[in-house]
Structure 1
Amino acid sequence: MTASRDSVTLSADVVPIDRRDLRRMIDEASATELHALVDEAHADEIVHAVTSLPEDEREKLFDVLDAERGAAVLELLPDSQAVDSLESLDPDAAAELIHELDSEDQADLIALLDDPELILSRLPAEEAEEIRDLASYPADTAGGMMGTEFLAFPLGSTVGDVVKELQDHADEHSDADVQYVYVTDEDGRLRGVLPLRNLVVSKRARKISDVMIADPLAMPSDATLDRMIAFFDDHHFLGVPVVTTAEDPVPGRLLGVLQAAEVDEAEAELRGGEFRRSQGIVGGEELRSMPLLLRSRRRFSWLTLNIGLNVVAASVIARNLDVIEAIAPLAVIMPIISDMSGCSGNQAVAVSMRELSLNVARPSDWFRVWRKEAAVGSVNGIGLGLLLGLAGGLWQGPWFGFVVGAALAANTLVAVSIGGVVPLLLKGLKLDPAVGAGPILTTVTDMCGFFLVLTMAANLLQQA
């Protein structure tokens, strides 16, 4: 989500938040201190501190904060944590937070809730209906990404009418896109755009139809994300009006405004989602603050599929053992150990890259990240080791199964540790983690995998 215009202004001075101090404030329910912290802290610091809190402490934080500051914090969080926080709160308190958000953020979060009506029923009827309308659009269309905070005036208005309205109701219009004023006809169709500069330099008695930009570019509500990306690539606008489609009873009716920043965020999320899926992170967004078993389950399903694919690939070598008589059956399993460990490491890389992009993690968090990854790596390593060990034992006997299973379990732990930490270290060195993490991970996991399996096999042979 993006910061709303009515949220608490966050200082540009980056001052680290002491998490122990934050937890003390929450434990003592010190509203005064927490309000001051939200008012003064940088947005990145708030994200970093709040996302690291246990779920029960995040819930208590929102209980203590007033609605305005609670919404300011909520809109900074990843959607998964924002939704969890809303669902953990009393519905009345959750409704107060929703009320403070921008319309596009309201619709985004309501669409993700398990029971949105529980919160919508506690909002004013008109506001709730507007949110339902916005949430009904597909999330990746212009209608699903637009905001409804904008200023529109009828064609017959004068410059003086617009200026007086802005001055008399400045507080009410604080949520609107104040860079442009939109001009509509009696049916609400978009007829023109009035830049503030044209408004300021024009005489009060002039009709806005005389100073507006007529027939402006607009985006239909059903426009796809690809179309929106292409539009903002071609036109360096901060925003574009969204109108009803040609099939609507009133085509061209002004519905809202699509911000370029929203499209950029959606494109980044799309690319990030594609990358996570390519690395086997299934089930959507993952953060290390999520429950251990949930994170393990999301990764494990993809890893078990890959172990089967790698066994199939290795069977090609197994069928040619008579040709390569000098190579023991152990050589058949070694590529599996190397590749599976690399898959686990790539999953850790994907989560580290995501957390870096959200400012949830930073280079100084390497030890915390390692501990979290070591926990997941231990669970998945044991599971994968048992699967491969069982297959190896059925094929070549129990000692062979023990060697390959233990080697895979140990190398999985090594791989996720490297995959989780290396992107942070590269970021700290001002190197591109997306470029460097993969080669480092592949090289180290190959070396460790081969070393572990060969060393363990050699030791067991000596004892035989």
Structure 2
Amino acid sequence: MEAKVVEFDLGRVEAILGAEDRAGAEEYLRELPTSERARLLSRMDGDSREHLIGLLDAEFAADLIQGLGETQSIEILESVDADLAAKVVDHVPSDEQADLLSGCDEEVAEKILAAMSPEEAVDARELMRYEWDTAGGMMITEYLAYRETATVREVAEDMRSNRDKYANFDIQYVYVTGENQRLLGVLRLRDLVLARQDDTVVSLMIQNPISVEVTAGLHDLYHFFMEHHFLGLPVVDLNGALIGVLQRSDVEESMSEEATENYLKVSGLQGNEELRSMPLMTRSRRRLSWLSINIVLNVIAASVIAVNQDVLEKVIALAVFLPIISDMSGCSGNQAVGVSVRELTLGLVKPKEVRRVFLKELGVGLVNGFVLGLLVAVAGTIWQNGWFGLVVGTALMLNTIVAVLIGGLVPLILKGFKMDPALASGPILTTITDMCGFFFVLFFAGTLLERLV
């Protein structure tokens, strides 16, 4: 029996808003799958969306926001009143607060910060100082830490008296600090529960715990968590003072976000991810910034055909195979780009390792170029004759080798020059492979012209 597909009903939502039915709004939204909540909010106009968010309890609205993509969450926060946005952001974990506010327009972010509770605003401003792909940008500031002189009884009393506040903390460990908040040790909750009331936390803690500096990068942190089965790590500043906790799940999520961002860049979508609920001109401008550059590059590539158009006019069948050779070589090159960008992202290859990547890709290019060239040569022979097959097959083989070499090396070279390899590799690869492909085909055809006509 197939599960029933639940879809949002905009008419029902409008009726709920008209009746100012808070309980009904929360009940209905809880019935919807996360994907339908996101789709519903993207279909509502700004006034209705603000009305709905304002009708909900702030904590539930924060849960709703957290279930959406970051771009859509930012879009919603920018569209509602600053006081309402502040109430919602107040209930979001500290690391996500910083991400959302950093993504908002600067003027909007300042209005939201001004409307937030002073304590939350201070923490958010502090976290916004750090880059998103560092330990400081991913850490949370909701954690429990006690001075070395504290007893088990004092810790337990603090937990009981602040149970409502701590209920929303994701507590795995309790941290022990000394003078100037310097991290001294980590205390497991199990040891705390089983200890005598008069024991001091310093007598129970694990000394010299592993910690990470606030400036540690995403890729190094990802590799660390892959090698160790920790759920979280304390984050310290340059003086060894405890300032936050980094969770394994946040590092994995950031790696996934970076992979998505790289994919969008390779596809020519710059900045944050695009949603169709965004203004028309914003979406158009983002796409045109990529497409207009590609027009120029494609004109350059097409100039190779213009120079050799006399050959093309005499062997018109070449026009059928030119796009095949260009497209197949481009696909091969994009595979190499993907591998290089991925390895750079994971830290598996350094920009200086050009020779290693060259040799690795050369092997793949020779094998794949030979196979693809042979297949096209057979097709060309059937289509025209053996000489024609030789021309298109050899052109594809050579262009495939060029494509995988360019695709493998360009990201490294761009990275070495502090440029974004995911964004710039595609146009460079396309232009070079098109130019080389057209040149190989038309040069070989011109050389063997008497045998082709």
Looking at structure 1, the residues matched to 22 and 221 of structure 2 have their Cα atoms a distance apart, in angstroms, of 42
Query: For residue 289 of structure 1, what is the aligned residue in structure 2?
Result: 277
Select which of 138, 145, 154 maps to 2:138. 145
Looking at structure 2, the residues matched to 119 and 24 of structure 1 have their Cα atoms a distance apart, in angstroms, of 27
- Conserved? CA contact 2:268–2:290, under 8 Å: yes
Is 1:209 the counterpart of 2:199? The answer is: no
Select which of 297, 301, 304 maps to 2:289. 301
Structure 2 spans left out of the alignment, 5+ residues: 335-453
Structure with bigger gyration radius: 2
Structure 1 residue 41, shift from structure 2 partner = 4.2
Query: For residue 358 of structure 2, what is the aligned residue in structure 1?
Result: none
Aligned length: 326
Sort the Cα spacing of 1:269 and 1:45 in 2 relative to 1 into closer, same or farther, 3 A: same
Looking at structure 2, the residues matched to 117 and 302 of structure 1 have their Cα atoms a distance apart, in angstroms, of 31
Looking at structure 1, the residues matched to 94 and 12 of structure 2 have their Cα atoms a distance apart, in angstroms, of 30
Select which of 225, 230, 233 maps to 1:237. 230
- Conserved? CA contact 1:140–1:225, under 8 Å: yes
Looking at structure 2, the residues matched to 307 and 53 of structure 1 have their Cα atoms a distance apart, in angstroms, of 36
Query: For residue 461 of structure 1, what is the aligned residue in structure 2?
Result: none
Looking at structure 2, the residues matched to 333 and 299 of structure 1 have their Cα atoms a distance apart, in angstroms, of 29
Corresponding residue SS for 1:59: helix
Is 1:24 the counterpart of 2:14? The answer is: yes
Sort the Cα spacing of 1:128 and 1:262 in 2 relative to 1 into closer, same or farther, 3 A: same
| Aligned 1:240-319 pairs, distance under 5 A | 240-245=233-238, 251-319=239-307
Looking at structure 1, the residues matched to 6 and 283 of structure 2 have their Cα atoms a distance apart, in angstroms, of 28
Looking at structure 2, the residues matched to 35 and 222 of structure 1 have their Cα atoms a distance apart, in angstroms, of 40
Query: For residue 371 of structure 2, what is the aligned residue in structure 1?
Result: none
- Conserved? CA contact 2:102–2:128, under 8 Å: yes
- Conserved? CA contact 2:214–2:235, under 8 Å: yes
Q: Which digits, 9 at most, give the CA deviation of each residue in 1:224-258, with x for residues without a partner?
A: 1122112211212111111111xxxxx11110111
So what's the TM-score if we normalise by structure 2?
0.65
Is 1:51 the counterpart of 2:42? The answer is: yes
Corresponding residue SS for 1:284: coil
Query: For residue 98 of structure 1, what is the aligned residue in structure 2?
Result: 89
- Conserved? CA contact 2:213–2:236, under 8 Å: yes
Structure 1 residue 25, shift from structure 2 partner = 4.2
Q: Which digits, 9 at most, give the CA deviation of each residue in 1:14-57, with x for residues without a partner?
A: 97242335533454243221111344544344234333434443
- Conserved? CA contact 1:15–1:45, under 8 Å: no
Corresponding residue SS for 2:310: coil
Of 279-288 and 321-330, deviating more is 321-330
Is 1:182 the counterpart of 2:175? The answer is: yes
Q: Which digits, 9 at most, give the CA deviation of each residue in 1:305-334, with x for residues without a partner?
A: 223322322222332233344345993998
Looking at structure 2, the residues matched to 64 and 334 of structure 1 have their Cα atoms a distance apart, in angstroms, of 60
Quick one: percent identity of the two aligned structures? 42
More helix, by proportion: 2
- Conserved? CA contact 2:10–2:40, under 8 Å: no
Looking at structure 2, the residues matched to 314 and 183 of structure 1 have their Cα atoms a distance apart, in angstroms, of 67
Looking at structure 1, the residues matched to 247 and 15 of structure 2 have their Cα atoms a distance apart, in angstroms, of 36
Structure 1 spans left out of the alignment, 5+ residues: 1-12, 246-250, 347-464
Corresponding residue SS for 1:172: helix
Looking at structure 2, the residues matched to 39 and 99 of structure 1 have their Cα atoms a distance apart, in angstroms, of 21
Q: Structure 2: which amino acid aligns with 1:321?
A: Q
Q: Structure 2: which amino acid aligns with 1:201?
A: L
Corresponding residue SS for 1:171: helix
